[in-house]
Amino acid sequence: MNRELNKQVAGEVMGWKKLGWYPLAGIPPGTPVTPITYAVEVPDYSGSMDAAFEMEEEIERQGEEWPYSSALLLIACAHEGFRPEDVGDTWDIIHATPEQRCKAALKTVREKKLEEA
């Protein structure tokens, strides 16, 4: 789990406005605030394929499938011997890790922000 990467994805890709400590459900009002009564509820986007798929659904909702796919191609296939013209081999993309998917999503939304600026 890469907590910093997960927080970046939650904020920049998923659109979370507040990242930090949130009260756990079922804590009665007036309970003293301690680290035990609060927990960070940021999904493990960089370590869980289910969470990474949820992130990819958000990328699709934003209409950024093509830029994301291009970024994932470059990140997942960034190994010795890869040439961009070898796109026909999709094995590396199919087996991209959740962390690689997170990096591609962040690259996508950051580049979009630069284009809009």
Structural contact between residues 20 and 61, judged by C-beta atoms closer than 8 angstroms: no
- What per-residue confidence (pLDDT) applies to 49? 96
Distances (CA, A) of 77 to 26, 40, 98: 45, 33, 14
Contact 13, 106 (CB under 8 A): yes
What's the pTM value of the predicted model, to 2 decimals? 0.76
State yes or no: pLDDT of 5 exceeds 90: yes
- pLDDT reading at 37 higher than 70: no
The CA-CA-CA angle for residues 49, 50, 51, to 5°, reads 90
Cβ atoms of 42 and 3 closer than 8 Å = yes
Amino acid found at 21: W
The mean of the pLDDT values for the chain is 81
Greatest distance between any 2 Cα atoms in the chain: 62
Residue ranges of the domains in the chain? Answer: 3-116
Alpha-carbon distance 43 to 41, whole Å? Answer: 6
